[in-house]
Amino acid sequence: MSEPVQTPQTFPTRIFSGIQPSGGLTLGNYLGALKRFVEKQDEGIETIYCLVDMHAITVWQDPIKLRQQTREAACGFIAAGIDPARSILFNQSQVTAHAELGWIFNCIARMGWMSRMTQFKDKAGKNSENVSLGLFAYPSLMAADIMAYKATHVPVGEDQKQHLELCRDIAMKFNNDYGVNFFPIVEPVIEGAATRVMSLRDGTSKMSKSDPSDQSRINLTDDADTIAKKIRKAKTDMDPLPDHVEGLKDRPEAKNLVNIYAALAGHTPAQVIKDYAGAQFGTFKPALADLAVAKLSPITTEMSRLMQDPAEIDRILGEGAARADAIARPILNDVYDIIGMIRSRQV
Ligand code: AMP
Ligand code: TRP
């Protein structure tokens, strides 16, 4: 039987991130996550991207829709530039290390830590007696997703910051409890102009696939007309754009549109303000709509082309899962050794 791993290790850079296939992908997912996943891949870093179907079922999912949305999200990744040969792309449920390590982390994480998670509080609302136990344990499974690969960097939107802090706490407690330097302490990568894309209807709430109003978001499956219409109708105030970014303070809707423009164009908000200082929304919105259509239409078109061949998507996901498993399984075996589980079936 192998002995627990005790030697200090250094951790090579490895990126992991995930998106829930719990609805269509939004512009928020694209700018806050997907676009940056592609940038990391193109920088030549090892990248592992996961459709977290087990996270999705922490709230009810219709099985037929879940399958459809998982394939659609996979197509969204590929259409946006994820190359399944260079990145590992798979769905979470197919690599059982996630669930196995998730359970172990449930025994590391403390009730108090979990109770402080704002996303749980937001999602559970007044209904906390009646939500699933999985929703409460969600961040611990998320930590397992990352640590099953000893990933060191996790690109996400702003809303995931607290979950990544919890992941660090879990990794540190595991290392401490067992006297090992086994898990890396992960670095959140929250960067760019659109780390928190807001609703088009309310500049103070996040653009989300679960918002009941479709007008509040741009979906990656929206056609050019719909995108343009939603942007034209986006809520704004009556003032022209300021001549300094500071002038966007206390103007959440205006700030959101400027940030979206900046992220789509690959500029900073300050550059956008320089170009559009004093512009009315009557001028700025059509410019933003044109830019959004130019950037998103090719992705939408490619997504619908890829969706024609579900068997090919499943094949790509399966291949990704096999590659992911090959990394995660030895790590999990080490974890079992560390914590004192007899690996009686090991070959
Ligand atoms: P989710 O759709 O909740 O699974 O989120 C997947 C990824 O997209 C995470 O990295 C989120 O932080 C990011 N994300 C989701 N919504 C937004 C948003 N409105 N703005 C920026 N990033 C977002
Ligand atoms: N919780 C993330 C979200 O809703 C999705 C997610 C699950 C994730 N596991 C992850 C993100 C691991 C980064 C790393 O946005």
Q: How many residues does the chain have?
A: 347
Atom of ligand 2 nearest to the CA of 163: 1
Q: What is the mean pLDDT of residues 187-206?
A: 95
Which residues are marked as active site?
A: 123, 206, 209
Q: What is the mean pLDDT of residues 45-71?
A: 97
Q: Is the pLDDT of residue 41 over 50?
A: yes
Q: Is the pLDDT of residue 11 over 80?
A: yes
3-state secondary structure of 97: helix
Determine the pLDDT at residue 12: 95
Q: What is the mean pLDDT of residues 221-233?
A: 96
Determine the pLDDT at residue 246: 96
Q: What is the CATH number of domain 14-195+309-339?
A: 3.40.50.620
Q: What is the mean pLDDT of residues 236-241?
A: 96
DSSP bridge partners of 18: 50
Determine the pLDDT at residue 78: 98
Residue linked to tokens 């929250």:
190
Counting ligands in written order, the one closest to the CA of 98 is 2
Q: Is the pLDDT of residue 6 over 60?
A: no
Q: What is the mean pLDDT of residues 60-65?
A: 97
DSSP bridge partners of 98: none
Q: Is the pLDDT of residue 2 over 60?
A: no
pLDDT-based confidence at 126, cuts 50/70/90? confident
Rounded to the nearest angstrom, the distance between the alpha carbon of 157 and the centre of ligand 1 is 5
3-state secondary structure of 44: coil
Distance in angstroms (rounded) separating the CA atoms of residues 201 and 217: 8
Q: Which long-range contacts (CB under 8 A, 24 or more apart) does 259-263 make?
A: 259/193, 259/194, 259/197, 260/27, 260/31, 260/194, 260/197, 260/288, 260/292, 261/287, 261/288, 261/291, 262/193, 262/194, 263/31, 263/35, 263/192, 263/193, 263/194, 263/197
Determine the pLDDT at residue 1: 46
Determine the pLDDT at residue 210: 87
Residues 143, 148, 152, 157, CA torsion sign: negative
The answer to whether residues 328 and 148 touch, using CB atoms and an 8 Å cutoff, is: yes
Any atom of ligand 1 within 6 Å of the Cβ of 142: no
The CATH class of the 214-305 domain is mainly alpha
Q: Which long-range contacts (CB under 8 A, 24 or more apart) does 331-335 make?
A: 331/97, 331/147, 331/148, 331/149, 331/150, 332/97, 332/100, 332/101, 332/148, 334/5, 334/182, 335/101, 335/104, 335/182
Any atom of ligand 1 within 6 Å of the Cβ of 76: no
Nearest residue by C-alpha to atom 9 in ligand 2? 142
Determine the pLDDT at residue 127: 87
Q: How far is CA 100 from the centre of its chain?
A: 21
The answer to whether residues 7 and 131 touch, using CB atoms and an 8 Å cutoff, is: no
Distance in angstroms (rounded) separating the CA atoms of residues 65 and 23: 8
Determine the pLDDT at residue 128: 86
Q: How far is CA 148 from the centre of its chain?
A: 17
pLDDT-based confidence at 4, cuts 50/70/90? low
Q: Is the pLDDT of residue 134 over 70?
A: yes
3-state secondary structure of 126: helix
Q: Is the pLDDT of residue 153 over 80?
A: yes
Closest of 161, 167, 228 to residue 195, by C-alpha: 161
Q: What is the mean pLDDT of residues 202-210?
A: 94
Q: Where in the chain do CATH 3.40.50.620 domains reside?
A: 14-195+309-339
Nearest residue by C-alpha to atom 14 in ligand 2? 17
pLDDT in tens, 253-311: 999 999 999 999 999 999 999 999 999 999 999 999 999 999 999 999 999 999 999 99
pLDDT in tens, 335-347: 999 999 999 987 6
Q: Where in the chain do CATH 1.10.240.10 domains reside?
A: 214-305
What mean pLDDT value characterizes the chain?
A: 95
Closest of 14, 15, 12 to residue 155, by C-alpha: 15
Distance in angstroms (rounded) separating the CA atoms of residues 285 and 276: 11
Read off the tokens for 33: 């996550």
Determine the pLDDT at residue 346: 74
